[in-house]
Amino acid sequence: MNVMTVTQESIANIGQLQLLDQTEFDAQFESREKELTLLESEKTLALEPAPSIKGIMKVHGAGSDNLWKVPLAALTIIPGHNPRVNNARNRARIRAIANSMVSEGWYANSVLMGYTAKDRNTGEESIVITAGHTRYLAVQLANAELTEKPGGVLITEVPVVIRTKGVSMDDIQVELIRGNVDGSLAPYEKAIVCQRMYRAGHSLALIEQRTGVRDPWLSKLLKLMSAPEKLKQLVAYEVITATFAIDMIEECGLEGALVKIQEALSRKYPGLVINPAGDDSAGDGVQGQQYPLLDVSSDQSNPIPQPENAAPEAAPQSQAKPFQPKITLKDVNRTSAFDKEVRKFAPSMATALQNVKNDPAFASLSPSVRSDLDKLGEELASLKKKLEGAGAKQIPAGDGSTASQEQITIDAQ
């Protein structure tokens, strides 16, 4: 196999694939066909391994920088730093990587990132992991299984790049998004990182520039972080998608979105209790089978109720797939287009009602009609008095404070 030298021209060609018209496609087809032939051809290595790795590295001026082989026991993590949620998808990812490690060991190109730290109180020194949390968790699982495997060799050291001084917490936060290319963060997990930076006082423009999360999606993710905790839990544990939650928030408001989604859950999964932390008090007193979001059990001895229109279950396999409730747009009773348009006329209708009651001919209406109009007028008057006395409705903001209904939109300044 020939050694290919990377030139400025070859770099410039990277990423230039685009939609072509027929003439352009025909002109480039032959070269692209050769490229695919090369990719699919049988590979033979025509190069001899260098007798001295250090020697050839010295010739080319290469350095090892801050890559270290670190004992696994010397590593630690910051609780809560990794934004990945302990949900079924991420547990499956950890499981897959652990399987690879049991079978193939730790790939040398899968490095962790970290920095050296000293505890101010105890003086204890440690190496703190800032990137590679999934692999760090997977290797613990792999080692537990290698211990039981005949001839299994434990993974006791892993490659870690130690950060130099001058790296800020902002840099570490940005890397959580930018550095997770192979297994990118879910929208809610990205929202956690963006909220951290927003709380640190950074503008939306700077967050967008550094993380690559573009507006208006960035503003929508921050608005999601202002939602009620139960709504965020449903997103985090993938009962609903972030996009669906944001759409419902924009349509129904922060509290209204949660109400609509909870109603849909009750209809689709009768008796289901969403119990994120294993707390028996969760679920607003609804009795029934509990669904522990942090520990999706595959034990089918006491199955969770399925939707009434669910398809028949397949024959049982050696390992049952964990139950995962899902709510989508079709499950929610949304406001009709007519109802949305009628709301625009509410102020003029209220004025018309008052004009009708003040009209001299009002007394000539039938008693039942007058009673209905009087009742409606009293309800409106009571609502107006209540709102004027209590001020603007307060909603929970993402930082635990409150914001008025008019201040829901994130201030970009």
Answer yes or no: is 240 within a domain.
Answer: yes
> Is there a single domain that holds both residue 328 and residue 365?
no
> Is there a single domain that holds both residue 300 and residue 365?
no
Give me the pLDDT at residue 243, please. Answer: 94
List per-residue pLDDT tens for the chain, 413 residues long: 444 555 555 545 544 545 556 666 666 666 666 777 767 776 555 555 556 767 777 777 777 778 889 999 889 888 888 899 988 889 999 999 999 999 999 998 899 998 888 878 888 888 889 999 999 999 999 999 999 888 889 999 999 998 877 778 888 889 889 887 777 899 999 999 999 999 999 999 999 999 999 999 999 999 999 999 999 999 999 999 999 999 999 988 999 899 999 999 888 888 776 554 433 333 332 233 344 333 333 332 333 334 444 444 444 444 556 678 888 888 887 665 666 677 777 888 888 888 888 888 888 889 898 898 889 888 888 888 877 765 544 433 444 344 433 332 323 32
> Is there a single domain that holds both residue 246 and residue 329?
yes
Strand ranges of the sheet holding 125-131, from the earlier edge strand across to the other edge? 67-71, 157-162, 112-118, 125-131, 75-77
> Is there a single domain that holds both residue 361 and residue 265?
no
Answer yes or no: is 231 within a domain.
Answer: yes
Q: Please tell me the chain's helix, strand, coil percentages from 3-state DSSP, rounded to the nearest 5.
A: 45, 10, 45
What residue numbers bound the domain in which 384 lies? 351-407
Give me the pLDDT at residue 405, please. Answer: 34
Which stretches of 83-129 are DSSP H helices?
Answer: 88-104
What's the number of domains the chain is made of? 2
Rg (CA), the chain: 30
Answer yes or no: is 317 within a domain.
Answer: no
Rounded-to-integer distance, Cα 267 and Cα 263, Å: 6
> Is there a single domain that holds both residue 239 and residue 328?
yes
Peptide bond into 216 cis (omega under 30): yes
Answer yes or no: is 250 within a domain.
Answer: yes
Global pTM value: 0.62
CB 273 within 8 A of CB 288: yes
Give me the pLDDT at residue 318, please. Answer: 43
> Is there a single domain that holds both residue 370 and residue 400?
yes
> Is there a single domain that holds both residue 289 and residue 383?
no
Q: Two tokens at 249?
A: 């928030």
> Is there a single domain that holds both residue 236 and residue 328?
yes
> Is there a single domain that holds both residue 329 and residue 365?
no
Answer yes or no: is 193 within a domain.
Answer: no
Answer yes or no: is 17 within a domain.
Answer: no
> Is there a single domain that holds both residue 380 and residue 299?
no
Answer yes or no: is 94 within a domain.
Answer: no
Rounded-to-integer distance, Cα 94 and Cα 99, Å: 9
> Is there a single domain that holds both residue 248 and residue 300?
yes
Rounded-to-integer distance, Cα 104 and Cα 125, Å: 32
> Is there a single domain that holds both residue 254 and residue 298?
yes
For residue 194, the number of C-alpha atoms closer than 13 Å in the C-beta half-sphere is 31
Answer yes or no: is 181 within a domain.
Answer: no
Give me the pLDDT at residue 334, please. Answer: 65
